Amino acid sequence: MTKLVFSNIFRFLILIIIQILIINFVYLGGYMVPFIYLLAVLMLPTRMGKIPTLLVAFAAGLLVDLFCNIPGFHTFSCTLVAFARLVFGNRMITRDDPIDIDVPGIHTVPFQQLAMYLLVMSFIYSVTYFLLEAFSFGNIGWMLLSMLLSTLATWVLMLLCQLLLPNNHKN
């Protein structure tokens, strides 16, 4: 159990640091912003309580907001994704099968189910984030393109991270 806690804390810190120090400074045409730190929230143990899950998501978003000088966009978006994960994320991972998965990841969940889970959650995050950022439908073309490209960039980066992570959490 302590190994699981320490690996989650380590993953949380590494992904937040990567987001703050590297990814936030990568300019991808002004439309695409990958949100790799979201993986720290999506890979939290499924047995973790609702309140701790929401608090971790809130803290992750708040840390990114503080270092990016953004007034709560990441905090709200990340907390909403954690809520969506609690509401229907586990059903997406297990497909209502009676299997017990400790930590959702490429080594514990079939690839197709994991890919769909990550895609839906990153789409929810991107839509929320860019709606908050634009706060209007004046430039809807830019907003839709940003949502789509950021969702795809986040999804691809999360899948690559999953492939590169060691198999620490066997089912």
Could you read off the pLDDT of 5-39 as tens digits, one per residue? Answer: 788 889 889 999 999 999 888 777 777 889 999 99
pTM score, whole prediction: 0.88
Query: In whole angstroms, what is the distance from residue 162 CA to residue 59 CA?
Result: 22
What percentage of residues in the chain have a pLDDT greater than 90?
A: 47
Which residues, in sequence order, are CB contacts of 81 under 8 Å at separation 6+? 38, 41, 42, 57, 121, 124, 125, 128
pLDDT digits (tens, 9 = 90+) for 75-105: 999 999 999 999 887 777 776 665 566 778 8
- Interaxial angle between packed helices 111-134 and 140-164, expressed in degrees from 0 to 180 and rounded to the nearest 10: 140
pLDDT at 45: 85
**pLDDT (tens digit per residue) in 100-121:** 667 788 878 888 888 999 999 9
Residue 171 has pLDDT above 50, yes or no: no
What does pLDDT average to over the chain? 86
- Output the pLDDT for position 89: 79
pLDDT at 66: 92
**Domain parsing of the chain, residue ranges:** 2-164
161: tokens are: 């991270």
Instruction: Concatenate the DSSP letters of all residues of 71-131 into one string.
Output: SSHHHHHHHHHHHHIIIIIHHHHHTT-S---SS-STTTS-HHHHHHHHHHHHHHHHHHHHH
Are 102 and 45 spatial neighbours (Cβ–Cβ below 8 Å)? Answer: yes
The more confidently predicted of residues 139 and 55 is: 55
Q: Name the architecture of domain 2-164.
A: Orthogonal Bundle (1.10)
